[in-house]
Every structure is written in C-alpha cells, then in structure tokens.
Amino acid sequence: MSKTQAYLALESSVQADFQSSLSPNDALELLQSGNQRFIEEKGAKRRSRTNLLKGAAEGQAPFAAVLGCIDSRAPIEEIFDAEIGDLFVARVAGNTVNGDILGSIEYACKYAGSKAILVLGHTQCGAVKGTYAQLEDGNLTGLLQRIEPAVTAIRSEVGDNPSDAAIDRCVASNVDLVCDRIRKESDILRTMEADGAIVIAGAIYDVATGKVSYR
C-alpha cells in the first residue's frame, strides 16, 4: 500500500504512527496527490465528522506545515484536500516570515513531528502587487518591506507598469526568498533539513486553475 493509499484509509485525523512512518518526500507527495484530487474534483470527504473530532481530541500529528498567503482565493486545506488534523497552516499576506511564524514552524517540526515545510505563494498576489507599487500605509508598510527584496530587481528590469507575468515572477522570487530566510534565520529548521528530518520546499498556487507547481 502506498503512503497516499494509507493516508486516504485513515479513519480519523493523521495519527502519530502514520506520521512517523513518513519521509520528508512522502509528506510532499501527500500534498501533491491532495492537490491533484482537488484539481480533478475527486476530493470527497473521507472521514466522518465524528471520527475527525474524536481523533483531534486525542491529539495531533500533522504531516506537513504550510506557510501561505491570507488571500481568500487560496484556502490551504482545500487546495490540498486536507481535513482536520492533517496540516499545520500559517497564513499571512505575502506568505512572508517573521519570528512568530518561525517559532510556530519550529514547533510544528521539532515537537509535533511534521516532515515538510511548504512555502506557498500564489498568482495575482495582492501583497506582492502592493510591494511592487511601493505602497506605504500603517502596519502594512513593515510587512511589505519584507517582500521588497524579491521585487527590486524585477521592478528595475520592467518598470512601473508590470504585466501579470512580471508579478508572478516576483511571487516566485518571494517564495524562494522566504525558503532561504527560513534556513538562514532558524538554526533548528536548518539543522533538521541538513539531517534529513524535514524538507523545506516552495510552490506556487495558480488561482485560475487550482494547480500547485513546485519550485
């Protein structure tokens, strides 16, 4: 039985023995297969709500942590056909990272056993567009400054009126930047990845097609 088949056969939320049997690449494959079910509209609810809640009350063992954008068009659990207890999810505009996010992901991996970290950007990202336009307003200013390094070179190349394709290049650059920042700013996660305990990966969600493409 494949890991995907075993996952689909679980009667409640992801269990610790199943989680511990996964490799980091297995965790990424579960995300990929879940997105394929979503695209093909084959993502039926597999477990009864009663069993899901019972399993959740007994504990949690999510197989991956996903850092995504707050955008309403990119609902993480639905994109990956996931249910209660399957994933840790952190969402913030521009899927950027700070100390609170890093601490949360460190907990997910070191103490709760998640095997993969996925940084998920998406097409038509409003936070990236705002960064490109050099928007400054309230607390948004500081957030967008964290995205700015992903935008600067492309803005210099294409000017002040970017195409959708240019914005999507910035989105991809930002995903790569956040993956690098996770490795640089978290000794715990960098060491875990070097030891093969986890994988840190990036991907882009297409809001028009539903497809997740990996970097």
pLDDT score, position 45: 64
Percent of the chain with pLDDT over 70: 99
Apex 66 CA angle, 38 and 134, nearest 5: 105
pLDDT above 70: residue 102: yes
Is 120 strand, coil or helix?
Answer: strand
Give the dihedral sign, CA 142/147/153/157.
negative
pLDDT score, position 42: 85
**What value does the mean pLDDT take over residues 87-109?**
98
Specify which residues 89 forms β-bridges with.
66
CATH superfamily of 3-214: Carbonic anhydrase (3.40.1050.10)
Rounded to whole angstroms, the Cα distance separating 21 from 58 reads 19
Rounded to whole angstroms, the Cα distance separating 44 from 52 reads 14
**pTM of the entire predicted model:** 0.95
**What value does the mean pLDDT take over residues 19-42?**
96
Question: Tokens 């640089």 appear where?
Answer: 184
pLDDT score, position 186: 98
Consecutive H or E run containing 32? helix 24-39
pLDDT score, position 44: 60
